[in-house]
Every structure is written in C-alpha cells, then in structure tokens.
Structure 1
Amino acid sequence: MRTKTDKLFFVVLSQEQITMSHKNAYLKKLRAELKDQESWRADALRVLKKNGEENPEDKPSIRRFDTAIASLKSRMENFTEDDDDFRAFQAGQQARPAAPIVSNKPAYREPDRWADAKAENAMKREWRWLQRTDATVPGYIRSNLQGMPNNKGYIWKRIWYFGLQPPEQPVETLTLFERNHQTLCIHEYNPHFYRLYEKADRNKPKRLVREILY
C-alpha cells in the first residue's frame, strides 16, 4: 500500500537515448544467446567424447552449434541500426507500455520476478539436457529417419524423432521404435488404441504385450 509520501519520478529520454538503450539491450540479448550456445556446445561435445565417438567435432549436432555461434558473432561484429532483426527487436521494445520509475520497489512484484527467473532457468536446464541427449543419437537412427515416413520414428532417451518423408497409410497410426537393451519395443498409437509390441530377435515375429482401447 502506498502512503501519501510516496512519489513517482518520470524520466524523459531523447530519441537518441532511447535508440542507444535499445541497441544495448539488443546486443546484450545476442551476448546471452552466444553464451548459451557455447555452453550447450561444450556440454554436447563432452557427452560425445565420453561416449567414445570418433571425430566428435564433425558430428551434425556440433556443426549446428558452430553455425549458430558463427552467426551470432557475425551479427554482433557487423551490427548496424538498419539490421532487420534489430528493427524487429526495436519495434517490440517500443510497443511495450512505458512504465514510470518509482522511488520505492513494490514488494508485490518480487514473487513474479522470482517465478519468471525460476521458469527461465528451468527452461534452460531442459534445453541443455535436450541438446546433450540429441548429440548422442546413433548414426543409424538419423540415417533411417531420412527415408522414413513422418508417422514413423524412434524414441531415444524419452525424445521422439519422426521420419522426414510424407506419412504413409493409415496416417492416423503412429509407430515408434525404441530399443530396450536387446529388445526392440514397438509403440503403436491410434485414436482408437495403444499397442506395445516386443521383438527379441529380428528373425522372430513381434509379440503383443500390451493393448489399451479408447
């Protein structure tokens, strides 16, 4: 609750100062993105080396990080106010409602800020885990996905990967393969049922072990 002695102080900035503020915020955002990409690359590379992968620097997942890092560095080094990305960022900043700078810090805002920071940190942790896990996907899975229909795919460490070709009939049935030690698990999802098959050997037929009807 505000008392009668509380005051609001407004700061009027020139257009040049506003633009400079936007530039600083934009470059800060790029530096944060660069730091994240470098951290995720280091994590993914560490996992690849730990798993004994040959030439880990040449893996597609690492090359994707290298491309993103090079792009961010180039954008920072060649930054101008005419960059389309900066223009879009600046438009977003200008669209935000102006807030007065107050002499006291409202206590009721603290929980929201803490919640936002906690959610952002959780998202970054999950993203780092996703990047590390994606770096360990076996080459045969990535190769098979190139020619696999989009309603088939693999489950690798709880992540679903789908084929890159048009779906095959029936399109409403989703089939995912998952390796569990020496057993191949086959998951079939359909609006009317879920079925789990197991196949211990490629020369043996699959065995239905679970079925749920909807």
Structure 2
Amino acid sequence: MSEDLGGLSIKGELQEMTDKEQQGKCLRIVSPMSPSGLHCCYAVIIVLTGAVIALFVASSLSGRKEEKAIASPKVGYVTCPRDWIGFGSKCFYFSEHASNWTSSQTSCMELGAHLTDFDSLEELNFLHRYKGDSAAWIGLHRESSHHPWKWTDNTEYNNLVPIRGKEKHAYLSNRGISTARNYTHKKWICSKPYSYI
C-alpha cells in the first residue's frame, strides 16, 4: 500500500513536471519575449495610442469652423461671427462654393467683408493652412501686367511674396500665390476686422 502511495507520488511529480514543461512551451509560443520586453511593448502601444488620439482630437478641433472668442487685454472680448475663424486682428470666412473673382468679392461684401488680404507671413501661412487643398481667391488684383498689384481697398501690395502668372486676379494655390482670369471658378476667402463686445 505504501508502495502504491509512493508510486502515485512519483507519478504525480512526473505529471506536475510535464505540465510545467508544457506551460513553458506554450508561453514560449505565445510570447518569446521576456516579461520586461513585454512591458516595454505595452508601454510603446500605450504611447502610440495616446499620440493617435491626440492627433485625432487636434485635427478635429482645427478643422471646425465655428464661433471663436479671444480675450483682448485692452478691450475685453473680440468675437467672430458663426462659421468665421479668428486670427490676429481679423475674422476669416472660407467659402464652401466656387465662383469667379468678381462674384466672390460681391459675396464677401454681402457679409460685411472683402476678399482677404494678409499683413504678414504668419497670416499668409494661416490662410494656406485653413484653405485646404482647394485654390481660393484673395483680394489682390491689377489693371494690367504693367500696373502694380492692389488689394480691394486700393492699397498697393508690398510684394511680401512673389505672385506667379500674368493674369489680373490672384488666388492662393498649394504653390503660393498665382493668377487666373476673372471668370475662373474658385473658392474664396473673406476677411474683416474683429468686432468688439
């Protein structure tokens, strides 16, 4: 009887050893890495997931065209109308539709604005960023290739960046500022000063 118990004991130990060996083999198949290596992988996955979420949130916030309010230390609050975006001291409207240069200017005037101008490279970069992939009319025009470029308020353009082309009306393209004939249909950008509350 004691031999039987001893035999069961040895059998049990052998069975336990083979079970542990089997577990070890399974673990090596599932994960050939050490636990510290797995922890490192988990950390990388968590960081990358956080980065993807942050990029998604940032892109959805930057793509929204909604009412913005910015605190001004001198005046109180300045606001832009709904569907306009504030930058610097102006509010900008980026059209959803395309039209020729003259109709685009008329549409801006109906909104109490004009086809946009820009005062600095920062403002120009902002316009490029928000216009997307579409070309968009801006307020630069001239009477002929022998005349200077002017904004819609007739002030002369300071040649901050060169303008490509020989036509009389300017638009923002992915390559900078280009020209086209008035009847060409493009989206447009309006601008007006902030309104103060």
With the length of structure 1 as denominator, give the TM-score of the two structures. 0.28
Query: Which structure features the higher share of helix residues?
Result: 1
Identify which of structures 1 and 2 has the higher relative contact order when contacts are C-alpha pairs closer than 8 Å and 6+ apart. 2
With the length of structure 2 as denominator, give the TM-score of the two structures. 0.30
The structure with more radius of gyration: 2
